[in-house]
Structure 1
């Protein structure tokens, strides 16, 4: 399976499995901006050659200042990390919740972080009948700690901020993973980033690698009350954020035209791709971001693993979503890419489905 290490985008495993060099794959299994890194990243790389012999700023002050200005929060409420994954692990390790509520399906690293600290998990099972939307009627738990993805991975669904504020009002601590929030046109209506800057039991985590297509540079940040962020910073590994990541982080925040172009593309391409997938017989979960969770057409013998293998033989990688708790072998996840790439995806899907239909009639 391609998800050997629990993630999409594993081109090394794809090479070993299908025998193509990495550059020949079209990767729909990871959810990066298909425009690739903005021009500022390339300029930062050239400039970085002149300072690679220097230590990075241990306090990441330049990037923290820019993020504070962007989000209109206190610099002391921001902690920069080696990707969102480090910050997920760090906040759980620091707070060590006894019982954590997770709404499944969700990002697997939430549960991994909890188990590493010896905590237990109370599951909230989201329903396909409700398009995997989390609502207040599902919150019936003794947990006092919640980890919530908004937009959720793999469903793409947003969580009503009022629900999270209700959890806080009732005394819970909540970590909201907003790694894909940059792709949401209505971001200001859903983000809780500014609320987190002044609430001691709310933490919001953001990624900088997905929207700006720099996953090889591990970079993310967390917002919380300043005294809580200070406690987390003391537990963070020294030199967690290298100087190249810091420079790239500062550079991409200046890329306003790139951000605008990305949002315009997604507003057009996402509904177009949904329509085409539905025409092929897929049921598409109506999320809000740059990836689509889909239920496979009802074809005897068709599974997510089987479709992934057939597509991989054609050089196209998709995510087998059955590895997410709460989903079965009938679910896959596709990234939304540029039109010509999406057309290749659709053509390969059509050919693959035809093979499964033919096999079912023999």
Structure 2
């Protein structure tokens, strides 16, 4: 199983499974910007490596200040972390749920992992295929006001693996129930109108709202590990008090500051994605796949009804061809008919379509 450790992008496991070196794969199982890191990343590594004999800034002051300025908030409302994964863990540890943790499923598996690790029990609100996996206000509010109401909600916007944002008004309704709401905006950078959708500024003002952002996906630096959280000064202080010292290394801090200045990279990425996502969706549809709407850089895809293989078998066949895909049946609420695919550059997407077309020739009689 490619998702041996619960995620896509595991090229070591892929090499073990398929006998192919890591650099020979085209990886659609992880959702990184296919343009690769901005030029500023390489400039930082070339110019500042001599400073690696010094400790990192333990307070991450430079990057926090730059992020605060970018979002128009106070620096005390920002906490940087070792990727969004650390911040999800810190949030749950700081909030210490004694009761339920509400999840709209399917969703990122680390929400449930973190909640259960620290004693929370999961209250799942299903998003249904018949509704194109959109979050129902009625179902959420029924859970939010019921006898077993969650004290914490963890919601992705855009949601992983469905690729859709959550209605802002729904989040505000949840906040009015006095539950604590954690919004994961790890992929929101890919959305052209992100500023109108993001709840970052709202999180800085509300005691029961936290927003988590990732910098690894959009800037294609997953090996560096970098993310940040925005919340009230009290919430951020609680999370910081639980964080391992020097969690954000020097390279991550320098690179984070540098990439925020590359406006052209941001604009080019969003222009590319709008066109390429549409092209890939259309070609997947021609193969008989059902492609669900997405506003970000990945697609949830249902295999054709007449296809005789499931997602796990398809992953095996594709991997043998050097193309990695995500078996989405590992997301709660999805079965073996679903896969998740990153949107990549045209040449890579064409290779995906060619391999997928060959593999889907296995049909039911």
**TM-score interval (norm. to shorter):** over 0.9
2:329 and 2:338 in contact (8 A); partners too: yes
Shift of the alpha carbon at 1:331? 0.1
Alignment of 1:190-205 (within 5 A): 190-205=197-212
Cross-structure match for 1:55: 55
Aligned equivalent of 1:168, options 157, 167, 175 = 175
Encode CA deviations 1:259-297: one digit per residue, 9 max, x unaligned.
111011001101111111111101011011000000001
Cross-structure match for 1:33: 33
Cross-structure match for 1:24: 24
Cross-structure match for 1:309: 316
Cross-structure match for 2:115: 114
Distance of 1:231 and 1:335 partners within structure 2: 35
Cross-structure match for 1:250: 257
Q: Which runs of 5+ in 1 are unaligned?
A: none
Cross-structure match for 1:12: 12
- Secondary structure, in 3 states, of the residue corresponding to 2:101? strand
Distance of 2:301 and 2:150 partners within structure 1: 30
- Secondary structure, in 3 states, of the residue corresponding to 1:322? helix
Cross-structure match for 2:84: 84
Cross-structure match for 2:237: 230
Cross-structure match for 1:94: 94
Shift of the alpha carbon at 1:119? 1.1
Shift of the alpha carbon at 1:300? 4.5
Cross-structure match for 2:126: 125
Shift of the alpha carbon at 1:188? 2.0
- Secondary structure, in 3 states, of the residue corresponding to 2:124? strand
Cross-structure match for 1:269: 276
Cross-structure match for 1:331: 338
Encode CA deviations 1:293-333: one digit per residue, 9 max, x unaligned.
00001125220011111111100000000000000000000
Distance of 2:307 and 2:38 partners within structure 1: 44
The count of aligned residue pairs is: 358
Shift of the alpha carbon at 1:135? 2.3
**Which deviates more, 299-308 or 194-203?**
299-308
Whether 1:344 aligns to 2:345 is no
Cross-structure match for 1:217: 224
Which of structure 1's runs of 4+ aligned residues deviate more than 3 A? Answer: none
Cross-structure match for 2:71: 71
Aligned equivalent of 1:178, options 178, 185, 200 = 185
Cα distance, 1:21–1:112 mapped onto 2, change above 3 Å: same
Q: Which runs of 5+ in 2 are unaligned?
A: 144-148
Shift of the alpha carbon at 1:14? 0.5
Shift of the alpha carbon at 1:143? 1.1
What TM-score, normalized by structure 1, do the two folds share? 0.98
Encode CA deviations 1:140-181: one digit per residue, 9 max, x unaligned.
221121000000000001100110011111211100000000
**Which deviates more, 311-320 or 181-190?**
181-190
Encode CA deviations 1:184-215: one digit per residue, 9 max, x unaligned.
11212211000000111000000000000000
Q: How well do the aligned residues superpose, as a CA RMSD in angstroms?
A: 0.8
Encode CA deviations 1:235-256: one digit per residue, 9 max, x unaligned.
1111111111101101110111
**Which deviates more, 23-32 or 184-193?**
184-193
